RNA sequence: GGCCCUAUCGUCUAACGGUUAGGACAUCGGCUUUUCAAGCCGGUAAUCCGGGUUCGAUUCCCGGUAGGGUCACCA
């Protein structure tokens, strides 16, 4: 039997922005399709008109593209199974609904919402689980489309199935119920629509959050009633919030993935990081910093984790830094300069800045009043900080005078030359620090700053000497 | 509460019966052309508990504990 071409999909509902959890689900589906030279579909599940948020679809598309997830079929580019918006696929759902009705596997719900609520409340009071099917009508009329259409679960039984991540799963008959296929507003529910779409689109692997495990028996009953061979289930563990063990959700302040773009994270770092929450190459492959292609090459379903993992921003920062190091120099230069005032756009500052930065927005934090905070600002020198570890005032003053003299006579004003000359002098003294520390501090006035030679070069001879004189 | 699932350093994880339980982030210490950062080197740190099975359990089984998911005309 020839292997069927792998088809995966990501099917978000347009109810707002995408956070890391959603993007990771999309990423794994994308990765698996790429790994197998298969097809990856973006499908929008817009069947809940009340919760729909305007602009969500564009936002979702933008988010996915930023991270580097691209689809072969989708609402924006079409494809062999268009349309990819569920709201435009109503005919399909109706068609399969009719098949179920004909087979006697679907019926119109005769109850009002109030009546169902009453049933539910009663069950609750009696401390037993509410099951709609216990109230299933004996006989029913023709569905005219104004009522909800319910699935008449053919056989109430236990189910066993297999999940690539979780292994063999099972659930008792209480997991089955007569759920709604088509709502009274004419739109299908997720439970029904995704099954029809996955069938029609030839989806081979359903990769989705593991919260759907509990309703899988219902899906299984529906697959059976429709005579469909179910796809392969791949249940993904949740991404947990940093503070605790709760699933990361919008309510817990999960960020819009595009916020990370705004903060200056690299998409390749986000791609890499998300791939690693819940999956790893396994078996002695200790690589962590990987490119998209490297990840695709080794991606497999067997190393997807069973339990959730915390989103750790410190590690993201580290990974982002690693990816920055791998950037082409021109790109780095462009990114750094675009965040620097024009007069600070000096190539020799780039490595100095890069050492202190894990994401681009950190650079903006280093710029104050149009100047880089670690130098070029008029330094406010605190005398007490001028001396190196217990060095006497006189000694420090002498050193500064000597440095000043050396600098005044230096033949060529370059970082290298300044360094050579000053270091030659410093090495002759008891402790280099006695010379170097006041030199650096007199120029920057900061506890933390780049080395004095670079600062001196950037400041220029006059400004350097004048600052040293001022301190003396 | 019913049903289902999960459990290795603080965090992300490796191990698919036999390892001094490995790596990474974080943390701590050392080194370096002062400090900080960066870099390099090194350290601390984990198999939830209790029973089995086995010559041998992180690994298999059972129970407990803890945590999670789910019980909508939301997806």
**In strand B, which positions have an atom below 7 A from any protein CB?**
1-8, 10-16, 22-26, 33-39, 67-75
Per-residue pLDDT at A72: 98
pLDDT at A437 over 60: yes
Per-residue pLDDT at A95: 97
Task: Determine the distance between A77 (CA) and B64 (C1') in angstroms.
Answer: 55
Q: What is the DSSP string of A94-133?
A: HHHHHHHHHTT-EEE----HHHHHHHHHHHHHTTS---GG
Whether CB of A212 is under 7 Å from strand B: the answer is yes
**How many whole angstroms from its chain centre is CA A161?**
31
Per-residue pLDDT at A1: 45
Whether CB of A112 is under 7 Å from strand B: the answer is yes
Q: pLDDT grade, residue A198 (50/70/90)?
A: very high
Other C-beta atoms closer than 10 Å to the C-beta of A203 total 24
How do strand A180-182 and strand A205-209 relate by DSSP bridges?
A: unpaired
Q: Say what the ipTM of the complex is.
A: 0.95
**A431, closest nucleotide (Cα–C1'):** B34
- pLDDT tens track for A264-279: 999 999 999 999 999 9
Whether CB of A95 is under 7 Å from strand B: the answer is no
Least confident of A50-64, A185-199, A386-400: A386-400
CA distances from A217 to A178, A230, A235, A306, A320 (A): 12, 11, 14, 20, 41
Other C-beta atoms closer than 10 Å to the C-beta of A302 total 9
Average pLDDT over residues A405-421: 87
Task: Determine the distance between A180 (CA) and B72 (C1') in angstroms.
Answer: 10
Which 8-state DSSP code applies to residue A263?
Answer: T
Task: Determine the distance between A12 (CA) and B49 (C1') in angstroms.
Answer: 41
Q: How is residue A461 written in tokens?
A: 């001879």
Q: What is the DSSP string of A394-415?
A: HHHHHHHHHHHHHHHH-SS--H
**Domain A374-471 class, CATH top level:** mainly alpha
Q: How is residue A376 written in tokens?
A: 């070029």
Q: pLDDT grade, residue A374 (50/70/90)?
A: low
Report yes or no: A455 and A449 within 8 Å, Cβ to Cβ. yes
**Of A86, A332, A57, nearest in space to A198 by CA:** A86
> How large is the C-alpha radius of gyration of chain A?
32
Task: Determine the distance between A202 (CA) and B26 (C1') in angstroms.
Answer: 45
Average pLDDT over residues A452-468: 86
Least confident of A332-341, A352-361, A440-449: A440-449
Average pLDDT, chain A: 91
d(CA A28, CA A278) in angstroms, rounded, equals 10
Percent helix, strand, coil in chain A, to 5, is 45, 10, 40
d(CA A4, CA A360) in angstroms, rounded, equals 44
Least confident of A102-111, A211-220, A408-417: A408-417
User: What pairs with residue A310 in β-bridges?
Assistant: A240
More confident residue, A360 or A459: A360
Task: Determine the distance between A211 (CA) and B71 (C1') in angstroms.
Answer: 12
Whether CB of A214 is under 7 Å from strand B: the answer is yes
Whether CB of A310 is under 7 Å from strand B: the answer is yes
**How many whole angstroms from its chain centre is CA A441?**
41
Check residues 341 to 370 of chain A and report those whose beta carbon is under 7 Å from nucleic acid strand B: 355-356
Per-residue pLDDT at A390: 67
Task: Determine the distance between A393 (CA) and B33 (C1') in angstroms.
Answer: 23
What is the sign of the dihedral through the CA atoms of A127, A128, A130 and A132? negative
Report yes or no: A220 and A228 within 8 Å, Cβ to Cβ. no
Place of tokens 């990765």: A31
What is the sign of the dihedral through the CA atoms of A150, A155, A159 and A162? negative
Place of tokens 């580097």: A68
pLDDT at A377 over 70: no
**How many whole angstroms from its chain centre is CA A180?**
33
Task: Determine the distance between A184 (CA) and B50 (C1') in angstroms.
Answer: 54
Q: pLDDT grade, residue A398 (50/70/90)?
A: confident
Least confident of A28-42, A82-96, A211-225, A408-422: A408-422
- pLDDT tens track for A121-176: 988 888 888 999 999 998 888 999 899 999 999 999 999 999 999 999 999 999 99
User: What pairs with residue A39 in β-bridges?
Assistant: A7
Task: Determine the distance between A160 (CA) and B52 (C1') in angstroms.
Answer: 27
d(CA A359, CA A102) in angstroms, rounded, equals 60
pLDDT at A467 over 60: yes
For residue A117, the number of C-alpha atoms closer than 13 Å in the C-beta half-sphere is 3
Average pLDDT over residues A245-250: 73
Check residues 138 to 157 of chain A and report those whose beta carbon is under 7 Å from nucleic acid strand B: 147-148
Whether CB of A419 is under 7 Å from strand B: the answer is yes
Q: How is residue A242 written in tokens?
A: 């940093």
Average pLDDT over residues A222-241: 96
d(CA A297, CA A278) in angstroms, rounded, equals 17
User: What pairs with residue A160 in β-bridges?
Assistant: A170
Check residues 4 to 23 of chain A and report those whose beta carbon is under 7 Å from nucleic acid strand B: 11-13
Per-residue pLDDT at A106: 97
- Contacts of residue A1, Cβ cutoff 8 Å, sequence gap at least 6: none
Report yes or no: A244 and A315 within 8 Å, Cβ to Cβ. no
Report yes or no: A239 and A249 within 8 Å, Cβ to Cβ. no
Task: Determine the distance between A193 (CA) and B37 (C1') in angstroms.
Answer: 54
Q: pLDDT grade, residue A337 (50/70/90)?
A: very high
Task: Determine the distance between A283 (CA) and B56 (C1') in angstroms.
Answer: 23
Domain residue limits, chain A: 374-471
**A128, closest nucleotide (Cα–C1'):** B2
Whether CB of A384 is under 7 Å from strand B: the answer is no
């Amino acid at each position: 039997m020839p292997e069927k071409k792998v088809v995966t999909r990501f099917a978000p509902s347009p109810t707002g922005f995408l956070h890391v959890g959603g993007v990771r689900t999309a990423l794994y589906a994308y990765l698996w399709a790429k790994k197998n030279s298969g097809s990856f579909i973006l499908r929008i599940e817009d069947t809940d008109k009340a919760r729909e948020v305007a602009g969500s679809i564009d936002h979702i598309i933008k988010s996915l593209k930023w991270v580097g997830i691209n689809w072969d079929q989708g609402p924006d580019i079409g494809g062999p199974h268009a349309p990819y918006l569920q709201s435009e696929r109503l005919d399909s759902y109706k068609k399969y609904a009719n098949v179920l009705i004909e087979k006697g596997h679907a019926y119109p719900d005769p109850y009002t919402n109030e009546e169902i609520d009453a049933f539910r409340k009663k069950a609750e009071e009696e401390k037993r689980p509410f099951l709609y099917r216990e109230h299933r009508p004996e006989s029913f009329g023709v569905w005219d489309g104004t009522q909800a259409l319910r699935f008449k679960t053919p056989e109430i039984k236990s189910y066993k199935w297999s999940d690539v991540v979780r292994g063999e799963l099972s659930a008792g008959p209480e997991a089955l119920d007569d759920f709604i296929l088509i709502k009274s507003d004419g739109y299908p529910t997720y439970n029904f629509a995704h099954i029809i779409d996955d069938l029609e689109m030839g989806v081979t692997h359903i990769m989705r959050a593991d919260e759907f495990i509990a309703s899988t028996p219902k899906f299984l009953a529906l697959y059976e009633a429709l005579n469909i061979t179910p796809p392969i289930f791949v249940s993904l563990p949740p991404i947990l919030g940093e503070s605790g063990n709760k699933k990361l959700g919008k309510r817990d302040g999960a960020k819009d993935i595009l916020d990370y773009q705004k903060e200056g994270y690299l998409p390749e770092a986000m791609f890499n990081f998300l791939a690693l929450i819940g999956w790893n190459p396994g078996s002695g492959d200790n690589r962590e910093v990987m490119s998209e292609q490297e990840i695709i090459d080794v991606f497999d379903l067997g190393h997807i984790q069973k339990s959730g993992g915390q989103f750790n921003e410190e590690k993201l920062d580290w990974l982002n830094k690693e990816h920055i190091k791998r950037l082409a120099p021109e790109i780095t230069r462009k990114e750094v300069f675009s965040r620097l005032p024009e007069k600070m756009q000096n190539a020799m500052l780039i490595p100095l800045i890069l050492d202190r930065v894990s994401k681009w927005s950190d650079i903006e934090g280093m710029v104050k009043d149009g100047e880089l905070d670690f130098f070029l600002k008029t330094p406010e020198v605190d005398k007490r900080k001028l001396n190196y570890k217990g060095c006497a005032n006189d000694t420090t003053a002498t050193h500064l005078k000597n440095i000043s003299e050396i600098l005044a006579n230096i033949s060529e004003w370059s970082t290298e030359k300044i360094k050579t000359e000053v270091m030659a002098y410093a090495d002759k003294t008891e402790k280099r620090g006695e010379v170097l520390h006041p030199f650096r501090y007199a120029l920057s006035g900061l506890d933390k700053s780049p080395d004095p030679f670079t600062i001196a070069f950037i400041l220029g001879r006059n400004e350097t000497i004048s600052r040293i004189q001022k301190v003396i």
